[in-house]
Structure 1
């Protein structure tokens, strides 16, 4: 297994003879799982960019979701050492974004930061705390903070004063080691707000579309655990040209079930136009880009509300979180997702007032925009080094690493008022499990459609990857008996469409308009000289040649 052998560089007694840069301090990043890794990478640049500091990584292996963590670190070309070596080497500082494992064995001052929006969830197993009869909260109870009566962390980083209040009540001796330093993850969200148009464009959102972000934490009480078919029902309810659906699942969902399995379970939704984000990155950009978030008791749901986005809760398991925590209070006040999905989405967007949730969402951080200088100051005090002269800053989230796949088969409804037409499109993929065609709809399929049945059933067949000819039109109509219109681009600005009775239509149109005009031709049986099409809040035009 990679990482089991002790490494000789960049740490160890003989490393100076092999390394090039003579660093002054060494920092150990303790990575329990992928969630913790992404949170550590929010703040590690505060020390890692300093040539006086060498950062190395280790995985204690205590998390049930740590299976690929070490491999993930290696893939990103980080210096990784085995846990057995990490607990026998002295470091100037260790930083962890979780508890668990033998952190007490580390030979370094230990800083622990949250791996979510503060500390909200009860500890696994819902064990009672030693004080009173309250359930213990992960990260704010003696189970995690003490070993043989001694405090494990040298510094406990909290994002809000309310967490300090709960910590002092649960483990009074730990309060003196706490630092309320804001939330670096939320500060990165704030830094990315000006990039909202760019995030939306990368996710394939048009100026008239609404982006609905579906997010889920892990476990059976989560959105995805409780109702894995919700994403599919949203795709059924929300027309393609009016909405873009983006899915963000907690990294633990991917780690527990495997990426291969999740991609298989979500393949139908991806083909239907949903953007499924990878677990490492993209959710922050999507949260900023969203018009609405449908979520659960995840940190993402709370972050979205704190950014002013409307949030509907598909599930709200109050038994899983401390009711006094920020997320606990949020679950008690946020509106639930109603059964009529489109009406619920539209109403939530139209009536949302961020001020109604401000009292709760203000609990995201006590120091908005200030976590970078506060954390760097604390880190360098423990390192006994003067801080770098440049201001401490955190980066805005990168552009999301996922874009929508073309929806190759669509159910198209056309309402005629020639020379105008209104078009509504839904993904045909969803008919695999529900063979009920929307009223007045026909099937339009691209020649890239992998499901042969759609091509056999399609009344409109489109070829958009290379220019078409009259011969292609005739051959396609002959090969596919259900096809009534075959169409595709002649060049960058014009299209050719043919009907089963041998008529050919040439019209000026871009890619979207060309597709829509072919469906209008199927319903109308002809194309007017000037065709105006309303679709998804936009107006496009096609002109006969």
Structure 2
């Protein structure tokens, strides 16, 4: 190596979503000449497209088989698969807004074992009786209380660092009008952002009932619409198939946001956010948008999650009434503090993620932190929506 004696940090990427979240962490390290950041892609049901995305970012990934046999000073991961095979201390971070979805594979559970969600589930933290991560980064102090119930042996490894999306979206709110102009919105024109998580109970899984409302003539004439579909949908079904299913939307001028694009500026710019129980709908509580749910998510979410809290305060769409009427009614009825409790549940230390995360990493690396504030570039202005209608790729904006 040209630069010797570097601390070697492995970034373990399972899916595109996990990789996007991990960027908030490895960006804190990569400018430090004392640190060499190395990437690997773990075989996963939704890893399609990850290597290609990393290549567009100028990253050459180390083969997973080689990575799991090599030694590193630290590993960063937003998923649990394969971490027990690594020869490195592991920092495990969350990849969404709290811990929303209870464990879906109930076949692995013992009789009476709870379906703990996300990083509260011992099956995502413990392997053969050993807690795998050296450090587990949580967004909220409430998470530690729940971890004490679900996996008490992991408590000594838990740290509250906050949520990077909370911090970025909050910091970008003063730039809302700039983002709207960048998207090509005319003065007074409404932006409706429709988002979907993945899985059979998601909005996309019920697309047949939602499409007629989105394609209504009065809606596409009066509003600009953008669809934010979870990257796992594209990875699972294939990019071409998903775009074929949504061809009628593109033909009517609805923007299909590519899975590798940064979704945060669209939430900041939106007047309405329509979504399911996924993270993006919960993050919408930080913005000026009016939120509407596509269905009641009670059975699909953990009862203490931000998504469950949002379901108690956000109106639910009716498939039998015009969408534009429901949008205007919900906006007219919205209270200034309607989503305050949801927003507060996303992070107990807002504005502190990058500082706390960097301190944790450098402590584990046994290095002194740089004598500069953490690198956390502000959200970039999005491209015009028309680009995602005419040529729906985001290679240059990722």
TM-score in same-fold range (> 0.5): yes
Unmatched segments (≥5 aa) in structure 2 = 391-398
Matched, 1:136 2:104: no
**Match for residue 230 of structure 1?**
210
Q: Structure 2 residue aligned with 1:46, among 12, 18, 28?
A: 28
The CA deviation string for residues 264-309 of structure 1, in whole angstroms up to 9 with x for no partner, is 2222211211111111123111100001100000100000013343
The CA deviation string for residues 129-180 of structure 1, in whole angstroms up to 9 with x for no partner, is 6696422322211111111111000111110112211111000011111111
**Match for residue 211 of structure 1?**
191
Which structure has more helix as a fraction of its residues? 2
Q: Distance in 1 between matches of 2:107 and 2:156?
A: 25
Per the alignment, do residues 271 and 198 of structure 1 end up closer, same or farther by CA in structure 2, a change over 3 Å counting?
A: farther
- Matches of residues 229-248 of structure 1 in structure 2 within 5 Å? 230-240=210-220, 242-248=222-228
**Match for residue 282 of structure 2?**
302
**Match for residue 168 of structure 1?**
148
Matched residue SS, 1:205: coil
Tell me which of the two structures has the higher relative contact order, counting C-alpha pairs closer than 8 angstroms and 6 or more residues apart.
Answer: 2
Matched, 1:71 2:64: no
Q: Which moved more, 1:129-138 or 1:268-277?
A: 129-138
Q: Distance in 1 between matches of 2:20 and 2:208?
A: 25
**Match for residue 303 of structure 2?**
323
TM-score scaled by length of structure 2: 0.92
Per the alignment, do residues 377 and 354 of structure 1 end up closer, same or farther by CA in structure 2, a change over 3 Å counting?
A: same
Q: Structure 2 residue aligned with 1:88, among 69, 73, 77?
A: 69
Please state how far the C-alpha of 1:93 moved relative to its aligned partner: 0.8
- Matches of residues 135-284 of structure 1 in structure 2 within 5 Å? 135-228=115-208, 230-240=210-220, 242-284=222-264
Per the alignment, do residues 199 and 229 of structure 1 end up closer, same or farther by CA in structure 2, a change over 3 Å counting?
A: farther
Matched, 1:394 2:394: no
Per the alignment, do residues 407 and 24 of structure 1 end up closer, same or farther by CA in structure 2, a change over 3 Å counting?
A: closer
**Contact 2:256–2:388 (CA under 8 A) maintained in structure 1:** no
Matched residue SS, 1:192: helix
Please state how far the C-alpha of 1:193 moved relative to its aligned partner: 1.7
Per the alignment, do residues 103 and 324 of structure 1 end up closer, same or farther by CA in structure 2, a change over 3 Å counting?
A: same
Q: Structure 2 residue aligned with 1:109, among 71, 89, 93?
A: 89
**Match for residue 8 of structure 1?**
none
Q: Structure 1 residue aligned with 2:294, among 291, 295, 314?
A: 314
Please state how far the C-alpha of 1:244 moved relative to its aligned partner: 0.8
Q: Distance in 1 between matches of 2:215 and 2:262?
A: 20
Please state how far the C-alpha of 1:256 moved relative to its aligned partner: 1.0
Matched residue SS, 2:339: helix
Q: Distance in 1 between matches of 2:289 and 2:219?
A: 21
The CA deviation string for residues 191-219 of structure 1, in whole angstroms up to 9 with x for no partner, is 22222122212222111111110000001
**Contact 2:258–2:388 (CA under 8 A) maintained in structure 1:** no
Bigger Cα Rg? 1
TM-score scaled by length of structure 1: 0.68
Which structure has more strand as a fraction of its residues? 1
**Match for residue 393 of structure 2?**
none
**Contact 1:128–1:136 (CA under 8 A) maintained in structure 2:** no
Q: Distance in 2 between matches of 1:80 and 1:153?
A: 22
**Contact 1:189–1:396 (CA under 8 A) maintained in structure 2:** no
Per the alignment, do residues 406 and 185 of structure 1 end up closer, same or farther by CA in structure 2, a change over 3 Å counting?
A: closer
Q: Distance in 2 between matches of 1:345 and 1:237?
A: 15
Please state how far the C-alpha of 1:361 moved relative to its aligned partner: 2.5
**Contact 2:255–2:388 (CA under 8 A) maintained in structure 1:** no
- Matches of residues 443-462 of structure 1 in structure 2 within 5 Å? none
**Match for residue 396 of structure 2?**
none
Unmatched segments (≥5 aa) in structure 1 = 1-15, 409-545
**Match for residue 15 of structure 2?**
33
**Contact 2:256–2:389 (CA under 8 A) maintained in structure 1:** no
- Matches of residues 265-414 of structure 1 in structure 2 within 5 Å? 265-338=245-318, 339-401=321-383, 403-404=385-386
**Contact 1:217–1:296 (CA under 8 A) maintained in structure 2:** yes
Per the alignment, do residues 228 and 282 of structure 1 end up closer, same or farther by CA in structure 2, a change over 3 Å counting?
A: farther
Q: Distance in 2 between matches of 1:300 and 1:220?
A: 17
Query: How many equivalent residue pairs?
Result: 388
**Match for residue 98 of structure 1?**
79
**Contact 2:9–2:72 (CA under 8 A) maintained in structure 1:** yes
Per the alignment, do residues 370 and 332 of structure 1 end up closer, same or farther by CA in structure 2, a change over 3 Å counting?
A: same
Q: Distance in 1 between matches of 2:165 and 2:154?
A: 24
